[in-house]
Amino acid sequence: MLPLFDCEVKVICPTILIGMTDKTYQPTLAGLRAFVAVGEKQHFGSAAATLGISQSTLSQALAALEAGLDTHLAERSTRRVFLTPEGKQLLPFARAVIEAADAFTAAAAGVSDPLQGTMRLGLIPTVAPYVLPTVLAGLARRLPSLNVRVIEDQTERLLAILREGALDAALIALPADANGFTEVPIYEEDFVLALPPGHPLSGKRRVSVAALANLPLLLLDEGHCLRDQALDVCHKAGVRAELADTRAASLATAVQCVIGGLGVTLIPQSAVPVEAARSRVGLAQFAAPCPGRRIGLVYRTSSGRDQPYRRLAGIIGELISAQERVRLVK
């Protein structure tokens, strides 16, 4: 059996272990690029022109690769270049390495600049429906290399997945009151009182917050920051609001309940154009100082992306300001 084993080793080694005489050798990308270019063009001049290098540089890179692998990859002649059988066998692998390296470089560019590639952006439900059309269209123009993935959820859950790294940044009401996050204020907006159609306060421009004491206040479900903000408005004004029995899971549902006479509610100014356009809801503005909220971008302080995220917040702010100017003109 020993001679048979020895014979098998002699047959297998030349086929499988090409270039393994020096197991520490690592081909360079320059050598692999030279090899692929020569294999595809089968002409040194054309291959060198493709890579933007001189023919001598190309020849040296290919020769170094062959020396390191201890095998001939190409047969040179005065007119053309032909790949050896070993060269033909190894060409697809060299091409795959180069493609992987190029993909790695492209991915690294996106990683180093979070405003290129895919970004996971969280938004709270009382912001998303009212600013997304403007923000997404504007970002597509201003940051064409950015692909935004939207995750809509309540503040607490957004912060949880942001902390875990499953989210890159989030557009929420500030302050977040959470450690480990950087907050960048973007815009402030007033609250507007939504009333049933024909309500005596509908159309008023200087309604006192104290009026909430005599109105059934309809709130969103637990977990919505707008619910807490509405209660905070009452608390700061020293008003003990009468809470309606109805609770809504979304602002749109809350407005529909208001229209049905089930109570009144507070809605942010950014929601007014949408909700007023699709319903007969009555609206009233509060007297100064008008209650409202601040919306901003939050992200992990440890992300090391302060500058690009602040740039993103600035762009979002510009887009929303432009939207508001258009609304006022209309």
What's the pLDDT score for residue 299? 96
- Looking at 57, 82, 109, the residue that finishes a domain is 109
What CATH number does residue 147 fall under?
3.40.190.290
Q: Are residues 272 and 311 in the same domain?
A: yes
Query: Cα–Cα distance between 20 and 30 in angstroms, integer?
Result: 20
Judge whether 288 lies within some domain. Answer: yes
Q: What is the pLDDT of residues 103-121, one digit of tens each?
A: 787 666 656 678 888 899 9
Q: Are residues 135 and 268 in the same domain?
A: yes
What's the pLDDT score for residue 5? 33
Query: Cα–Cα distance between 233 and 241 in angstroms, integer?
Result: 10
Query: Cα–Cα distance between 24 and 157 in angstroms, integer?
Result: 50
Query: Cα–Cα distance between 25 and 81 in angstroms, integer?
Result: 25
What CATH number does residue 70 fall under?
1.10.10.10
Amino acid symbol at 6: D
Q: Are residues 73 and 215 in the same domain?
A: no
- Looking at 73, 92, 109, the residue that finishes a domain is 109
Query: Which structural domain, as residue segments, surrounds residue 60?
Result: 29-109
Pick out the chain residues at pLDDT < 50: 1-21
The H or E element containing residue 12 is helix 2-16
Q: Are residues 179 and 38 in the same domain?
A: no
Q: Are residues 277 and 147 in the same domain?
A: yes
**Which CA distances in Å does 279 have to 21, 99, 204, 247, 257?**
79, 55, 18, 19, 11
Phi-psi region of 205 (alpha: psi -120 to 50; beta: other; left: phi over 0): alpha
- Structural domains in the chain (count): 2
- Looking at 78, 109, 140, the residue that finishes a domain is 109
What's the pLDDT score for residue 103? 77
Evaluate whether 270 touches 192 at the Cβ level (below 8 Å).
no
Judge whether 193 lies within some domain. Answer: yes
Q: Of the candidates 144, 158, 101, 151, which has an alpha carbon nearest to the alpha carbon of residue 121? A: 151
Q: Are residues 149 and 200 in the same domain?
A: yes
Q: Are residues 122 and 82 in the same domain?
A: no
Q: Are residues 89 and 231 in the same domain?
A: no
Q: What is the pLDDT of residues 131-147, one digit of tens each?
A: 999 999 999 999 999 99
What's the pLDDT score for residue 78? 65
CB contact set of 1 (below 8 Å; sequence gap of 6+): none
Evaluate whether 125 touches 221 at the Cβ level (below 8 Å).
no
- Report if pTM > 0.85: no
